[in-house]
Amino acid sequence: MTDRLEGKSIAITGAGRGIGRSLALKFAEEGARIVVSDLGGDGEGGGTASQAPADEVVAEIHELGGEAVAVYDDVATIAGGERVVQAAVESFGRLDGLVCNAAIMAPAKPLWELSEDEWDTVVRVNLRGQFCPVRAAIPVMRKQGTGRLIYFSSSAAIAADHGAVSAFDTSLYGASKAGVLGLMWGTATQFSEYGITSNAIMPGAATRLIDIRLPDTEQAAAFRSDKALGTWRDPKHVAPIVAYLLSDAGARVNGQLFGVMGGRLALYRPVEPNNVINAKEGVGFSMDELFRRFPAEFGVDLNYEPATFPPPVGN
């Protein structure tokens, strides 16, 4: 064990499997005390809740000689979010970092076939499931005068493209994860004066959520989570950047969006104006001026092009 996170109290939602589990184990190795939060449901917002995933990770951390406690509440509720924070304070005396990783996958159907319940279920878990723990954490961190909030977004939030190996429309999933970015930038702006930093991660790794929507093809089979160990798709590669942001070294990093995929780490900038025109006739655009100048200064053919992601380092 090393000491980059020595003594820090860190709560991680969705920590029973996949990326969350990898984070919990690595942070424990770095000396952190961990709240392992996991409802234990399936990857689509259903199934029977189980305490086993969280308990197993806690047992693994104890075997490493670390400290950890389990929480099984639904973090998409106010009470569930409060329970995660309460567990950290009661068990370890404080909450230094909150990692909001819990998420589910969107249904495998086009946008026009989604029901209201399907839409609400995904947004509930992926967005409200980050809001509720953050809501509970901020008063504690403000009182401490320090704290780290780590949000988990997705490349689908800025590049709503289903890609070569995905079998679902990313509009719903992307919308839920884009909302996370708005939440992150909001807390980054409002609470930095209290020593609280907020940052977001877009992870690229093979997990059970990806497995759910992989098509039945030879190409897609190579991306399954059971074949990820030791490759760039291994969830363990997400841990170093998150650990940095939680550590003392990351104290001055705030309001940033990072993409990590294997050995590739990218810093993304918020949306900025690409071209600006100002009205020349009065305080606003007349219809005539706007219709005349738009094609001349913005162009006629403007089409959304999803962001591209260079190949990661490694196999």
In whole angstroms, how large is the CA radius of gyration of the chain?
A: 21
Whether 173 is catalytic is yes
Which two three-digit tokens encode residue 98? Answer: 């909150």
Distances (CA, A) of 211 to 8, 18, 218, 222, 231: 33, 11, 13, 10, 16
Sign of CA dihedral 279, 283, 289, 290: positive
Structure tokens given for 130? 């980050």
Catalytic-labelled residue, pool 72, 173, 194, 304? 173
Catalytic residue positions, numbered? 173
